[in-house]
Amino acid sequence: MHTQATYPVCKLLSLLGIIAFNVGCTTTYQTHWVEPSGYLDDYSMLTDGEGEDAILSYWNENVDWTQYDKMLFEPIAIWTGENSQLNELPHGERYKLKELLENQMRESLKKDFRLVVRPSPNTLRVELVITEAETSTILLDFYSILYPSARVLSELQMLALGSESWVGSAGYESRITDAVTGELLMASVDRRAGSKHLSGAFDSWDDVNEAYKYWVIQLLINSVINANYRTVWNLISGSKLLEATQ
**DSSP H/E element including 130:** strand 123-134
**DSSP H/E element including 224:** helix 206-224
Range picked from 138-142, 159-163, 231-235 for highest mean pLDDT: 159-163
Q: Is 47 exposed, middle or buried (0-12, 13-18, 19+ CB in 10 A)?
A: exposed
Mean pLDDT, rounded, for 4-13: 46
Q: How confident is the model at residue 115 (pLDDT cuts 50, 70, 90)?
A: very high
What's the confidence (pLDDT) of residue 227?
Answer: 43
Mean pLDDT, rounded, for 71-76: 94
**DSSP H/E element including 101:** helix 91-109
What's the confidence (pLDDT) of residue 93?
Answer: 84
Mean pLDDT, rounded, for 178-205: 82
Helical packing angle, 206-224 and 6-25, nearest 10°: 160
What's the confidence (pLDDT) of residue 141?
Answer: 55
* Cβ neighbours of residue 170 closer than 8 Å, sequence gap 6 or more: 130, 132, 133, 134, 191, 192, 207, 208, 211, 212
173-236-234 Cα angle (round to 5): 45
Q: Which of 122, 126, 14 is nearest to 72 (CA)?
A: 126
What's the confidence (pLDDT) of residue 234?
Answer: 46
Compute the distance between CA of residue 159 and CA of residue 139 in angstroms, rounded to an integer. 22
Instruction: Quick: pLDDT tens for 142-172.
Output: 556 665 665 556 565 666 566 665 577 889 9
pLDDT at residue 245 is higher than 60? no
Compute the distance between CA of residue 204 and CA of residue 196 in angstroms, rounded to an integer. 13
What's the confidence (pLDDT) of residue 210?
Answer: 87
Averaged confidence pLDDT in the chain: 75
Instruction: Quick: pLDDT tens for 25-67.
Output: 567 888 888 888 889 989 999 999 877 789 999 999 888 888 8
What's the confidence (pLDDT) of residue 162?
Answer: 65
